[in-house]
Chains A and B, each alone.
Chain A
Amino acid sequence: MSRVVKKTPSVCTDMPLNNAEVCAKLHLMKELLRSCYGPTGRLKHIRNNIGGRVTTSSSSSVLLPALSSSQPLLNLIKSSILNHISRFSDCGLFAAIFCLSLLEHVRQHELRENLAIKVNKHCLSLCTSYLQREDCACRVKVNFCSSQNLMTLAGSIISSKPACLLTEAEKHHISTMVVRAFLQTIPCSTPGPVTLGHTVTVTIVGLRVLDSAVFPGLLVEMYDPFDQTDSSSGPLRTVLFSTSLAGDLAELGDGTIEVDPDVDTDLQVLNQLLELGKQLVEDEVRLCVCQKVIHPVLQQYLRSHGVVVLERLGMALMEPLSMLAGTQPVATLHARILSTAYGRVKNLSTKQFGFKTMLHLQPEGEAAVCTMVLCHRNETMLDELKVVCQKAEHGLRLTLKEPSALLGGGCTETHLSAYVKHKGQQEASESAAGLGCSPAEFLLGVKVFCRSLDMVARSLEHDGGTSVIDLNHAHHWTVSAGATKEDMVGGLGLCGCGLVENSPSTKWTFLNTEYAEFCPAPLLGDSCRKPTVLDSFTAKVNALQVAVETANLVLDVRYIIEDVN
């Protein structure tokens, strides 16, 4: 008997951005992400309501997947930011905060949506073309002849996540490690197209951060270190299995097989496995690695013939290992293994880290694979450290594509904002005509864009301090909460990125106030000062685009139709 259930009609929301509830949620999300931004940002405990592990983080790649909403607009923003993170790792929070503040400011200034979209696009193109220009004052060339800029870039990304709780010495150690790992993954002597290598991250809880290290080759955890030989040298013939050697039958899917009860399927598979083992021994394999579990009987057989056995490698290590040893992963146990599938490993040795025993595999030739062993006292901090190191390494890789970096510490934002404001004012009438609006409207749109950029820079401060910019280079400075006027004149020190020094002649303005537009002056070339905070160029430019385009998309939404069945 079937029942007919009447369908509920879909729910349609008109002008979602005018809805107070939607706006409140957007605001909440903005405040939530804003409070995480920067090296002094606040952390969030992330947990499930039924218990389970608590994650503590301020990283967008951890935070955003945990934020699920009933509001489609929020999910739209979330997924576009997550997409950015999956491609560039860095600047996720920047994109999200910028996008959400754009939306908020557009509403606050009661700007028409279609106009806001046009002006945003215009301002974005101003920014991107300026950033690509040779004389762009907030861009720094990354010089591969020295590691200094690379170190600064890695260091800035690492210090941007306070949940790692690193001291200065530890920060320096970790950034050196990340840069070293990055350099090791660049192959030196390969002719033809260059393929970047892999960095594998291994984490060990309970050791000091300063015990972290980078090793060429691969370190693989051994689950059963008692029966293994200590080290073997000389090239070792290696085989890598991607199929399970546990002795179970292959996945049946939904189907069933009918078996006579007298037939012992387990034994049959085991015999097959031993057959395979025999071939491996005949082919003089010295190292047998499996992604999954190896049957204890097969392990015993192989070990008794002097083969080093490594099981439960895991998916993540498959590609690095096949790259290192030059093997083709074997996916079946029912066919003879071709000799081309075998690879070679130069030597093996065991290394002890705390409670973990690792097998160190070294490549024979130059295979750009290295392992980064990260240690920290506590699992929460270690998780964050791992995320950050991977982010930093990705940031470094992006410099190969575009050897530039942007000034960090909010300076790029304020500088761009001042530039856009100045440019907008200068070309107000032409641009307004081009966009089909009045110059006043156009200037309002530009103001919204600049305010939103300033907002991102202001988000860096969490301890009640205020943000100011200088009226010369438009760099970002922070004034701590208790500081007096005298302090401001004499003791502001360096700007956010560490490139500009305070001088008595410098004029200031608070970032959240109106100020007359000016053309931010480029820094003079003779300054020997180096920036102390740098952001990834590629990631930031893309984040800028993603933020503006997502905001425009959201502004363009007229109706939300929800099927509530």
Chain B
Amino acid sequence: MLKSVTANQQQYVGLQELSALARTLQPFIGPQKKYRFIQNVRSGESALTCSCFCAIQNLEPTCALGQLVCETLQEHEKIYHTGSGCLMFLAGAWSSAALLGLCQGISVTQIISIMNEGIEICLDAVRKSALLFNGLDVRLSRRSTAAVHGLELSLSEEAFCVASNLPFNFQAPPAKVYQQAQNIRGQRQIKLSRYFCENKSEMVSEFETCSFAHIAEGLSHSCDNLMKLAVEVMQVQSRSNQDITTVTFDISKVTTCVLFGLPEDCSCAVPGCIVLLSDEQVSVFHHLKTKRLKVALIDGDLSHSYHHMGFKRPAGMQHVRDQPSVSESSTEDKWVKKVVKLFLDLGVNLILLTGVACKPMDQNCCRNQILVVEKLNSSVLRTFAQSTGSALVTYPSQLRDHCVGTGVQLALWRDLSCYDRKLVPVNISTEENTGLVTAILTSSVQCKSQLQQDRFWACAYRLHHALKDRALLPGAGRTEMFCIHLLQKQAQNCREKSTNSVPPSAAGTAVALHTSVMLELMADGLMDYITTVMINSGKMSKVEARTIVTRQLQTFDVHQGNATKFPQLVLGNENEAFVFPSRKQTECAPAVEVYDNLCVKQEAWRRALDLVFLVLQTDEEVVSGLDQKMEKDTMML
């Protein structure tokens, strides 16, 4: 019988669990990650990981909270493929903040409304500190006075600029501010347009080469070699794309191919789709390599028993024969023969599949010099369909002349027989450039391959998001510090309000005090995040890290002593003065600007807080279908 049980979560166990879980995942935060082994005691398998998401998935949580965390990370990872560490850490840090708030007697409803206010401050700050770049439209993105001074400098050196919203000036009426901004923009446009008229083409190329390398370097987060690979992939892809103003990075056309046994510096980007062939396929390949091939694209498996999704095989079907059959060949053999005959009739030499081919089919095709390539990405197949004028089909019986594409070529990418005789990487390409790029990842240590792939994709996605957002955030803790600064400032305002309020109403004072406490706690969460990143770099202790951050925040305050033109000063300051000693800076090399993705950071923060809110508001757990094994603290209904 089904029974439900309610587990009473006294003392906000959920929040404690969440912060504890986040604490165990701390080593995965920041660019200098620490590797961890995850061992399955039952099966004896182990995995090497350095990503939060991977770790959580391997831990297979069974408790409600673990499940919730896992779902949240999955959703985030599905869209952004990066930033789950940040999400997890902040969820933990902010749940500790909420817990401390509860201990001080702040009610749940209040905590939620204050933290909502806090996140709005942060997200607004993030938006304001975004560095927009927009290809040719650089000048359109300049919206503030902040960038006026370093204008030419930033254009020639970086070709993107600091943009913040209109300076908010409490004394000035809104209309005036608007006018002021208009004027500035007008002046600047004239200046800029002259600049553009004179050497437009130069500008473009400069943006293409110089600034792009700069962005990529800033986004690499210590994954230099893999980021270099990602940039290479992008450059290979954009070479086909003639329109320079819309540089994009179409990640759906990128595949990876892992080669074991080669040193890591052999990684590179190759136009086309590179696959590894098996021994039997190699002879077919040698037969086909000089020809223009006809290709068939099949979305599914190539086997007799395969059916499209949603097809139900009737259960009660029996095959009855009134005479003993003469030929022994099974229906499968017949089917294979029929399909191969169809391929031969259509003149198909190459078959690309998303699924797998059955063994007899494989053999039969090899015999007839037809190459079958399995397990390809369906987006890759679509690209081939577009470029060869063919169409994806589900069953081989659907193939007609118009479904078959032409002009595909096979070429041995590189002769690797000196490393491993079995490695035969073959490039499938078409005459026109498709934008398909393969990232060749080489590794001499097999267990690192998954890790390398993960990190490559993270780099690629960071680049992809940067180009999609057309914006970057100052990284290396600069954005976080800006947010901490604003949160602390707001907290202080509330504190002052609570002491100075003219009619002393107890409720009003309490609210203001609570607000200041909660905002401070939220700022502490962000502070923890940057200090953890610094500690993970292995160059300093917690105390040192905290001291550095606090000192930076204090100098901040000194600079913006007159609070009227506050955002500009902060931003100006940030760009010049704030380069972290912790990250990416070797003793003699000049500091590299570090950047983060705008939308990834915004989303990760928002999702982290949503998770905290859900857990904070939950007081009980309802478990259905409980068996004899009773847990403690449970009550049966």
Residues of A within 8 A of B (CB): 25, 28-29, 32, 35, 40, 42-51, 53-54, 56, 58, 63, 66-71, 74, 162-163, 165, 167, 205-206, 226-227, 244, 246-249, 251-261, 265, 292-293, 295-297, 300, 312, 355, 377-381, 462-464, 480-484, 486-487, 490-491
Contact = CB atoms under 8 A, between A and B. Distances in A.
B309 interface: yes
Given A482-B506, A482-B510, A379 B67 contact: no
Contacts, number: 208
A58 B622 CA distance: 11
A49 B628 CA distance: 11
A189 B68 CA distance: 48
B382 interface: yes
Contacts of B506: 482-484, 486-487
Contact of A246 (B107, B311, B614): B311
Interface in B270-288: none
B62 A297 contact: no
A255 B627 CA distance: 37
Contact of A480 (B507, B614, B622): B507
8 contacts: A35-B619, A63-B622, A66-B624, A206-B79, A312-B310, A378-B72, A483-B506, A487-B507
B610 interface: yes
Contacts of A486: 505-506
Contact of A56 (B79, B308, B618): B618
A50 B625 contact: yes
Contacts of B397: 297
A25 B67 contact: no
Contacts of A355: 79
B100 interface: no
Interface in B604-625: 606-607, 610-611, 613-614, 617-625
B316 A255 contact: yes
Interface in B39-83: 62, 64-65, 67-68, 71-72, 75, 79
A256 B316 contact: yes
Q: Determine the main DSSP class of A at the interface with B.
A: loop
Interface stretch (B2-10, B138-146, B430-438, B586-594): B2-10
A396 to B, nearest CB: 27
B386 to A, nearest CB: 9
A20 B311 CA distance: 55
Contacts of A167: 116
Nearest to B113: A167
A377 B607 contact: yes
Contact of A32 (B6, B393, B395): B6
Contacts of B311: 246-248, 293, 295
Given A46-B624, A377-B606, A379-B75, A259 B637 contact: no
B64 A47 contact: yes
B622 to A, nearest CB: 5
A35 B620 contact: yes
Contacts of A482: 105, 506-507, 510
Contacts of A40: 108-109
A48 to B, nearest CB: 5
B107 A463 contact: yes
A260 B610 CA distance: 61
A295 B624 CA distance: 40
Nearest to A74: B637
B394 interface: yes
A407 to B, nearest CB: 22
Q: List the 10 shortest-distance A-B pairs measured between CB atoms, nearest first.
A: A293-B310, A463-B107, A296-B394, A256-B316, A45-B64, A42-B619, A258-B320, A68-B2, A43-B618, A54-B67
A496 to B, nearest CB: 15
Given A54-B68, A67-B4, A163-B617, A49 B626 contact: yes
B179 interface: no
A244 B622 contact: no
Contacts of A491: 505, 507
A463 B617 CA distance: 11
B314 interface: yes
B637 to A, nearest CB: 4
B94 to A, nearest CB: 14
A249 B622 contact: no
Contacts of A25: 636-637
B637 A69 contact: yes
B635 interface: yes
A268 to B, nearest CB: 13
A252 B315 contact: yes
Contacts of A42: 108, 617-620
B318 A259 contact: yes
B623 A48 contact: yes
B292 to A, nearest CB: 26
Nearest to B610: A378
Interface string B311-353: 1111111111110010000010000000000000000000000
Contacts of B318: 256-259
Given A49-B627, A244-B312, A381-B614, 10 more contacts: A42-B108, A44-B6, A47-B67, A47-B622, A51-B62, A68-B3, A165-B112, A253-B316, A255-B316, A261-B325
A46 B607 contact: no
Nearest to B62: A51
Contact of B610 (A43, A295, A381): A381
A29 B112 CA distance: 27
B1 interface: yes
B321 A261 contact: yes
Contacts of B308: 246, 293, 295-296
B607 to A, nearest CB: 6
Contacts of A258: 318-320
Interface string B497-514: 000000001110010000
A28 B507 CA distance: 34
B624 A48 contact: yes
Contacts of B314: 248-249, 251-252, 257
B107 A464 contact: yes
A198 B474 CA distance: 49
Contacts of A379: 71, 75
Given A206-B75, A297-B398, A67 B637 contact: yes
A483 B507 CA distance: 6
A246 B310 contact: yes
Contacts of B71: 53-54, 379-380
Contact of A49 (B79, B611, B624): B624
Contact of B393 (A28, A69, A300, A378): A300
Contacts of B398: 296-297, 300
A136 B37 CA distance: 70
A165 B112 CA distance: 9
A373 to B, nearest CB: 18
Nearest to B386: A226
Given A167-B116, A226-B382, A69 B3 contact: yes
Given A45-B621, A257-B316, A265-B317, A163 B614 contact: yes
B312 A246 contact: yes
A355 B80 CA distance: 12
Contact of A260 (B316, B321, B505, B607): B321
Nearest to A492: B507
B399 to A, nearest CB: 10
A261 B318 CA distance: 9
Contacts of B107: 463-464, 480-481
Contacts of B110: 463
A256 B107 CA distance: 65
A378 B319 contact: no
Contacts of A463: 107-110
Contacts of A45: 64-65, 68, 618, 620-622
A146 B199 CA distance: 61
B608 to A, nearest CB: 11
B507 to A, nearest CB: 5
Nearest to A248: B312
Interface in B423-444: none
Interface in B380-419: 382, 391, 393-395, 397-398
